[in-house]
Amino acid sequence: MPNSLSPRHAVYAGSFDPVSLGHKDIIERGARMFERVTVGVGVNPEKSPLFTTQERLDLLQQVLKPFPNVTVACFEGLAVNFVRRCGAAVMLRGLRTLTDIEAEFTLTLANRALAAEIETVFLMASEKYSHISSSLIKQVAMLGTDSLNEHEPLEAFVPREVISAVRAKFQRVKREKGG
């Protein structure tokens, strides 16, 4: 583990199940502010995500190809420990709503108690993406499959590289459910 943490290196941790236009916007803006951004895909054995860890990493890697100072990795356990292992002194977070602010406030205080040397930096979500969440994407993917509609509804929520992966995943989920 590096002795000193770099204030020019930020870690953006989340579930990214899957990566959305909102996440991409925060990463892109973070990459302009910091020398390095590491995107950390959290692996929580108690949750069953839609996409496997490897699928989430692959999708992020495709979407983030244009940003040379952004790398992607996965981690288990506390996010602050991952931030430390990366040698970063900053944790990057996105804020969408008042509910987010409340939750993030508690989380930040907990993280500060665990690792006072790590500072959390918040970026306000862009107005065009502030309604986007992973659960909304899943709902749209599950319900928005009208073959007569030429317009792809997922385009408004996920980067274009992610659309076919979400579609394929939901076709499988529906087949498995016998729908």
Q: Is residue 159 a contact point for ligand ADP (CB under 6 A)?
A: no
Q: Which stretch binds ligand ADP (CB under 6 A): 48-56, 127-135, 148-156, 165-173?
A: 127-135
Contact 15/49 with Cβ under 8 angstroms?
A: yes
Active site residue 47: yes
Catalytic residue flag (residue 135)? no
> What beta strand segments (E) does 57-111 contain?
70-76, 88-95
Residue 94 sits in the site that holds ligand ADP (CB under 6 A): yes
Q: What are phi and psi of 70, to 5 degrees?
A: -115, 130
Residue located via tokens 């950390």:
40
Set 29, 85, 96, 167: catalytic member? 96
Question: Quick check: 26 binds ligand ADP (CB under 6 A)?
Answer: yes
Residue with the shortest CB distance to ligand ADP: 22
Contact 84, 118 (CB under 8 A): yes
Q: Sign of the C-alpha dihedral, residues 73, 119, 126, 105?
A: positive
Of the candidates 20, 24, 84, 134, the residue annotated as catalytic is: 134
Q: Are 23 and 56 in contact (CB under 8 A)?
A: no
Which 8-state DSSP code applies to residue 145?
A: -
Of 9, 20, 23, 56, catalytic: 23
Name which of 6 and 130 has its Cβ closer to ligand ADP.
Answer: 130
Which residues bind to ligand ADP, rule: CB under 6 A? 14-16, 20, 22-23, 26, 93-94, 96, 100, 125, 129-130, 132-134
Which sequence positions are flagged as catalytic? 23, 47, 96, 134
